[in-house]
């Protein structure tokens, strides 16, 4: 899956964002092992703690449709610099990505940065950390 295709899919997903409180629309696109693209947008709620980010929406859609691993993800917003996932999204990404999974951070100005989940969340808490000794 090309970086450009994922960023374009995230850009389209951003248009569906429900952001009446912040007016900060975010789109994301994840690709799994099947090479299918799963898109997501941020969905706000008047009870702000119940808001869901675009990245988690895309990932949860992929997992709920049978994917077990995210191979790449793009996220985009109308920001000066390429937008970066929040801490909660980074933790969710770490659950379903390998250390080297490509994460493309983008903005509407055409800027795109390529990161890995290891760079975004070094030393992340993994399910294997829950194994009792």
The residue annotated as part of the active site, out of 4, 44, 55, 67, is 55
| Residue carrying structure tokens 């799963």 | 38
Tokens of 115: 């990161």
Block residue for tokens 């760079």: 119
Q: CA-CA distances (angstroms) from residue 50 to 43, 44, 47, 115? A: 9, 7, 6, 28
Asked if residues 33 and 18 have their Cβ atoms less than 8 Å apart, the reply is no
44 noted as active-site residue: no
Which are the catalytic amino acids?
Answer: 55
């Amino acid at each position: 899956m090309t970086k450009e295709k994922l960023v374009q899919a995230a850009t389209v997903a951003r248009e569906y964002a429900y952001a009446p409180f912040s007016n900060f629309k975010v789109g994301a696109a994840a690709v799994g092992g099947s090479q299918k693209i799963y898109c997501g947008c941020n969905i706000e709620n008047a009870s702000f703690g119940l808001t869901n980010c675009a990245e988690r929406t895309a990932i949860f859609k992929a997992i709920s449709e049978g994917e077990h691993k995210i191979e790449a993800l793009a996220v985009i917003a109308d920001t000066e610099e390429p937008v970066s996932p929040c801490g909660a999204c980074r933790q969710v990404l770490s659950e379903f990505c390998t250390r080297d999974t490509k994460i493309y951070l983008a903005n509407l100005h055409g800027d795109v940065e390529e990161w890995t989940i290891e760079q975004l969340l070094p030393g992340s808490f993994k399910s294997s950390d829950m194994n009792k000794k």
